[in-house]
Each structure stands twice: as C-alpha cells, then as structure tokens.
Structure 1
Amino acid sequence: MHTIWKGAISFGLVHIPVKLYAATEEKEIVLHLLHKSCHGTIKNQRYCHSCQSVVEPEDLIKGYPLDTNQFVTFDKDELDKIHDDTSKKISILDFADELKVDLMFTQKVYFLGPDTHGANAYYLLLKALEASKKIAIGKMTLRSNTKLCVLKPINGNCIQLATMYYTNEIRPSENVPNLATNISVDPGHLKLALQIVKGLTGTSDLESYTNPEQERLLNAIQSKISGQLIVSNPAQESEVVVDLLDALQESVKLVKGKNNPKQIIRKEKLG
C-alpha cells in the first residue's frame, strides 16, 4: 500500500508513530476525452479569461470572493501560516461510544498502520479501544486541512481512521423540500411493509453487491476489443517512436565508443 501521510498519534503523553493508507479505492472506469476527427487526447489547461492566456502553476494564488469582481488573495506562504502547525500529529481529544457517532459525519475512511518504531504503543491503543468498546475522536492536518477524525479498531490488529465533517458542514434535514410535519400511514399498509422488511432481512450482505453499470461498461469495452474496434492517435504514436529512436541511436553511439576507444582518440588527435 502507498503511504498517504506519516506522523504520530498523540495519546495523552504517549507518542505513537503511524502511517496512513487509503482504505477504499474508486472502481470507476475512466473514459478519456478524444477529438472525434483524429482521436487526439484533449487536455485541460488553466486559462485566464482576463489575460486570454494559459497560466502556469507557479503563477497561481488563491482568492476569497467578496463579490463578482473583488477578491481577498492569499499566496502559499500566507496559507501555510494559517494552517495548524501540528501537521504531523493526530491529537486525540475525546473517547465516545461508537453508536453515538452519526454516520452522516463520516467523510473518508483510511487505515492506520504502525511505523517502523512504536508498534508496542500502537497495539496498546488498539487493545485499549477494544477493551473499553470506545472509539477515539481526534483532529489531524491532512492535505493542508485540519480534519476531525475517529479511530476504531478492526479485525483485531488494525486501527481504522475516518475523517469527519464539522457540524457546520452538515446540512439540516429541515431544508429538504416537501417533508410532512404530521405523518400518518394506513395500519394495514404498514403491516404489509413490515412483512416485506422481515422477508428481506438477512438475505444478503454488502460484499454481495456489485456495480451493474461498471459491469456493462467493461463488457462493452471487451466487446469492442474483440471486434478490433480500436482507434489510435497517429500524432502521439509518432512522437513516442521518434523519442525511442533517438534514445536507441544515442545508446548505440555510446556502446560503439566504449568498444572502440582507439577510434575516439584518433579522431580527437585529428581534430
């Protein structure tokens, strides 16, 4: 697994070196944008409409909009000073019962693994969470943003970390249109609905579900490959061939030079 973040858990006075790994991955099939006439790859560029020019990454700053044409601007150094200076630490703030944490707050899930040193402290925290049947609530800085997070033991030997939304990032359900204030349903209809719920309970689990759209797209891709319905981009292919050819020719020259040093010396003397 690729390490996303490296730091430590601050557990009271205990310092636990850890590494962060992605626990999930998107299985979305990526389709590239191509030019219909030549099948060239379309690339997105950062374009300034005011200057009518392409902008390089080093010329970018960030701005908070005050109105349509006014901004308060920040460069990278200014933003770095604003961010929490404990960028390599997960500070545990509290412990809570798992059922008291609303899934609405869950943002993204990761795995925390022990670093090369400090494995004993890592497993001590894991077993403490297991024995107390608690989860740890903390904060960390990830990709320049201070995040709330929860730590939970899983599978008996690993700590799962989930980043969380702050309360002001959760939209109130009262804003959902057309919600009724006084709800009444027909008792007979409710009885039938409960029978359906009971009949479907325990018939499947999350591991049994697959993405039907992804499967159809994969089948369509395989069908086109089998039927040789494949296009190419001549311009891109020729660039690769030229680069490879140049590299091979230069390599041949170097090999010849190493194998025939007298010829090189003779040429230098002639010069």
Structure 2
Amino acid sequence: MAKAKSDPDAGKAASSTRSLWKGAISFGLVHVPVALFSATSETDMNFKMIDKRSMDPVGYKRINKKSGKEVAMADIVKGVEWEDGQFVLVSPEEIEKAYPKTTQTIEIEAFVPIDQIPFVYLEKPYYTAPVNKGQKVYALLREALAATQMVGVAKVVISNKQHLALLMPCGPALVLNLLRWGGEIRSWSALQLPPQGAKEAGIKDAELAMAKQLVKDMTTSWDADQFRDSFHEAIMRLVEDKAKSGQVEQVETIAPESGGGSGGQVVDLTELLKRSIAGGTRTPAAKSAPAKKAPAAKAPAKKSAPKLRKAA
C-alpha cells in the first residue's frame, strides 16, 4: 500500500511573524524591499539558573579571574590578544569606528552556480519576504535563480555585524543563508585522510559494490520530521508531566527588546533591468572592499564538496 504524501510543513516549528530586519535586496539597479524572518527554531535545552531559596533568576557576575573579586563595569576595558599573554587594548570609540555601516541592504556581489557552494560554509538560514508592494520583483528574482540554478552571493549587515550570505530559492521563498567567511574554514591538510578515489584508497571493486548496494537499500526521500532532537523531546515531556502535576514555580522573566527598520521603495522594474543589462550595474571587482581581514585559509576543493539541491 502506497504511503500517503505527508504535509511538507508537518512537524515544523510555527512560522515567525516578527521581522528581525527590514531593507532591500539589491542587484544591478534593482531593489527588492524585503523583511527578514528567522527560519529556524533552536532545540538546544537552555537551562536557566535559579536561586532555590527565593526562586529568583541567577545571572553571571564579572569576576577578576586572579583575585576572585567582582569588577565594576566602569573598570572593564576590551582587549585583543596579540601574542601569548600580550593584549592590545581597544577603546569603545575605536570599536564603533570599525563597525560596518548599516545600509539595510542585502547587496548581491555576484551570481554563482548553486552546486559550487560547499555545505561546510553554510551557517544560518533566514526567510526573506516582500514588503511595500515588492511581490512581483521578489517573484522575478526567485524564478530567475530557480531557472538558472544560480544563487546570489551577498553581503549584509545584521546587528552591527557584516556577514557573507547566499540568497537562494527554496520553494516559494528566497532564503538568505549566512555563510562563514573564507578564513573561518580550517584546512584539512593536517588531517590523516585517505586519498580520494577507490583505487587510491585501496578499496576493492567488490567492497565498493557492496557499499553502493547498501546505500541503495537505505535510500529514501528526504523527510526532516524523521530526524528529531530526542533529548529535547524527552526533557519537554518531563517538563509537561511535572507542570500538569502542579510542580511549577513562579520566576521573574525579562521581556525581550523589540526591533525593526524601514523598508525600501518599488520603482519601475523593467527600466531598471534594461539599464542593468546595458551596463548600469557595477561589477564585483568595482565595489569597495570591506575592512581588511587576515589572509583566508585555503578552501576545500570544490569537487569533494556535496552539492546543494534546490528545495522542492
């Protein structure tokens, strides 16, 4: 009996309707006004520290690690370790000056084939959604990327931090997936890895054939709901049982801060596309470079990286 097709959203966390950021996607001379929404719901257990005598929340003190005494905020400065035990102090004004300028723009630097992006660089996904009557140009960019199997490599500033990101179609959405910078990926050259290639690694034909058959036997369609955080679910069942039996304590909570920004404006799409194709857009090489970074570590070879596939 054939298994009924499951709801693609079954088992997923509820959608977030609170925008984290508002601005625009920019490519060529075209701007797509969008809002950014969290695409994930963390399942890590975040145990809070509570004083059992008073049921008050317990925070972390700023402690001098040598004397063991608490340090006043006014006596704390920030430093970056230069060499072992030697630090360079940086003032708040110097840190503020180095912060990237918040432009409220997801600025696409270039478009690259989706299968050239190694999974190791992916860090955190966000949904984008059109605002201010930007539905048509949003859909145009989504469909163009899907049809060409390309993704947009972009830079974006979120919470005063500059990120490299991919803008990629995923179903009806354009997903902004933050990337790790090139220098953040460690090289595998120091690891004792077997050589690539079956013969080079000493694998016999019969061994490879059996391994391929095992992979085939275990092959199925992707269903994220089959893979759940069992520890989180076990703890939440315990919490629910205790709550139902009345084992609940009142602890003071602190409301999170709200945020938001302003969106962009929609202009004549056809005209901007024509001007961009005619040379009205800047090339990646012509863009101003971000703050100078340390030399990037050698990236993993592309041929060994798993391929990204467009979501259904």
TM-score tier, shorter chain, comes to 0.7 to 0.9
Correspondence 1:217 to 2:231:
no
Query: TM-score, normalised on structure 1?
Result: 0.73
Closer, same or farther: CA 116–77 of 1 in aligned 2, 3 Å: farther
2:18 & 2:248 partners in 1: Cα distance? 33
Question: In structure 2, which of residues 181, 190, 194 is the aligned counterpart of residue 180 of structure 1?
Answer: 194
Q: Is the 8 A contact 2:101 2:160 kept in 1?
A: no
Shift of 1:97: 1.2
**Identical aligned pairs, as a percentage?**
27
SS of residue paired to 1:47: coil
Question: In structure 2, which of residues 78, 81, 100 is the aligned counterpart of residue 84 of structure 1?
Answer: 100
Q: Is the 8 A contact 1:47 1:55 kept in 2?
A: no
Closer, same or farther: CA 136–192 of 1 in aligned 2, 3 Å: same
CA-atom RMSD in angstroms? 2.8
Corresponding residue of 1:248: none
Shift of 1:136: 0.9
Matches within 5 A, 1:1-271: 1-35=17-51, 41-49=57-65, 52-56=69-73, 60-67=76-83, 69-156=85-172, 158-176=173-191, 178-181=192-195, 182-202=200-220, 205-226=223-244, 228=246, 230=247, 232=249
Closer, same or farther: CA 67–12 of 1 in aligned 2, 3 Å: same
2:230 & 2:66 partners in 1: Cα distance? 44
- Unaligned residue ranges in structure 1 (runs of 5+): 238-271
SS of residue paired to 2:141: helix
SS of residue paired to 2:189: helix
Structure whose alpha-carbon radius of gyration is higher? 1
Query: TM-score, normalised on structure 2?
Result: 0.64
Closer, same or farther: CA 60–117 of 1 in aligned 2, 3 Å: farther
- Unaligned residue ranges in structure 2 (runs of 5+): 1-16, 253-312
2:111 & 2:222 partners in 1: Cα distance? 33
Shift of 1:75: 3.2
Number of equivalent positions: 231
2:126 & 2:104 partners in 1: Cα distance? 16
Shift of 1:69: 4.7
Q: Is the 8 A contact 2:61 2:70 kept in 1?
A: no
1:59 & 1:123 partners in 2: Cα distance? 53
One-letter code of the match for 1:98? I
2:24 & 2:77 partners in 1: Cα distance? 31
Closer, same or farther: CA 137–174 of 1 in aligned 2, 3 Å: same
Judge which range, 123-132 or 160-169, deviates more.
123-132
Q: Is the 8 A contact 1:21 1:110 kept in 2?
A: yes
One-letter code of the match for 2:142? L
Shift of 1:50: 6.5
1:2 & 1:59 partners in 2: Cα distance? 37
Q: Deviations over 1:125-146 (max 9, x none)?
A: 2232233332111111122222
